[in-house]
Amino acid sequence: MHQLTMKDIAKICNVSIKTVSRVINNSNEVKQETREIVLKAIQEHGYQANLMARGLKNKKTNTIIVFIDNHKEKYWGIWHTKMLSCLFKEAKRKKLKIVVSPSSAHGHLDDETDGFHLLTSKMADGAIILDNAENDIRLDFFGKRKIPYVLIGQTNDKSATWVDLDNYNAGKVGCEYLINKGYKKIAFMVGQDQFHVNQLRANGFEDMANERKIDYNISFNIDSVEGVYKNTLEMFKDMKYDAIFISGSERALGAYRAIFELNYKIPEDVAVLGIDNIEQCKYMYPSLSVLDQQCEVFAKKIINMLYNSINKIEDSPQKQLFIENRIIEREST
């Protein structure tokens, strides 16, 4: 039995090939009754559209790649999952398909499992890079080959297209918020130092801490619940901090456990502030105060920028965009 074609479906339904094509592409130019007949035939006969052939014909696949750094084989956290969910929703509104791929800013060309090759083979139209590292070679590659992309994360490359929280300001605002609440010995824990976002957050925090002349500590490469837990216990051997600021709210659970084991109370003895307003923050006890990244706003801006770039729509010439951060105060501060 030969594989069914669009022509076969059209013959079965007694409609034109153009009508079948419009149904498959979800066009509004088809009567509902006709649409139902065609869809029923497609389902009953197991017809599958050749997406690659359609992509070659239209010179677009309506597919985008979301690259996530493997974080030394730890891949992503809850924030990444939330961001992906928001990106899926926004992409669906634009009728875009998403393929998620692990990737590396330093070694993608030698890794056949990296979805980067879908772009170079023109099997996808553009890319979103979810984690940016210093000297990310993918940006140069995309730029030279005019492959549309949006980077989630600020970079010093003036030619790059990116959307990000103002991370320097996030570190500064978080520190200032805790100081204004009366805390004078503050520890800040951030993730891997190879990521530009963590450097910016640390710089903002440090500048505010020095400006207000408080005691502080900054710890890099604290990128897990266990890491926060161990680092908190270790830091408190030398000094009793009255506030802990954590980049990545899901990791705050480690601080909660350590503070409990040290026989301190939150926030009476030690306040805790996180970055990322993930759902779990509301249900921790005490509920966690956070600096909100507004993932829904992030995702909408990212998809719109990439969609416009792929389709050469010049609604907004802006190539770099900051998302406003905000403090959500709960019980932990």
What's the pLDDT at 237?
Answer: 94
In the chain, domain spans = 6-49, 63-164+296-325, 167-293
Q: Out of 57-66, 169-178, 315-324, which region has the weakest mean confidence (pLDDT)?
A: 315-324
CATH of 63-164+296-325, one of 1.10.10.60, 3.40.50.2300, 3.75.10.10, 1.10.3720.10: 3.40.50.2300
What's the pLDDT at 49?
Answer: 61
The residue behind tokens 């792929």 is 310
What's the pLDDT at 76?
Answer: 67
SS3 212: coil
CB 196 within 8 A of CB 133: yes
What's the pLDDT at 319?
Answer: 81
What's the pLDDT at 323?
Answer: 87
pLDDT digits (tens, 9 = 90+) for 221-268: 998 999 999 999 999 998 999 999 999 999 999 999 999 999 999 999
Q: Is the peptide bond before 102 cis (omega within 30 degrees of 0)?
A: no
pLDDT averaged over every residue in the chain: 86
Q: How many CB atoms lie within 10 A of CB 227?
A: 17
User: What residues does 152 pair with on adjacent strands?
Assistant: 163
What's the pLDDT at 39?
Answer: 86
Judged against a pLDDT cut of 80, whether residue 25 lies above it is answered with no
Residue 321 sits at the vertex; the CA angle it makes with 329 and 133, to the nearest 5 degrees, is 90
SS3 316: coil
Measure Cα distances from 18 to 14, 84, 221 in Å: 12, 35, 56
User: What residues does 217 pair with on adjacent strands?
Assistant: 187
- Residue 84 CA to residue 149 CA, distance in Å, equals 16
Judged against a pLDDT cut of 60, whether residue 61 lies above it is answered with yes
* CATH 1.10.260.40 corresponds to the domain 6-49: yes
Q: Which tokens hold the place of 86?
A: 């928001």
pLDDT digits (tens, 9 = 90+) for 174-210: 999 999 999 999 999 999 888 888 999 999 999 999 9
What's the pLDDT at 174?
Answer: 97
Residue % of the chain over a pLDDT of 70: 86
What's the pLDDT at 214?
Answer: 97
CATH superfamily of the domain spanning 167-293? Response regulator (3.40.50.2300)
Domains 6-49 and 63-164+296-325 share a fold: no
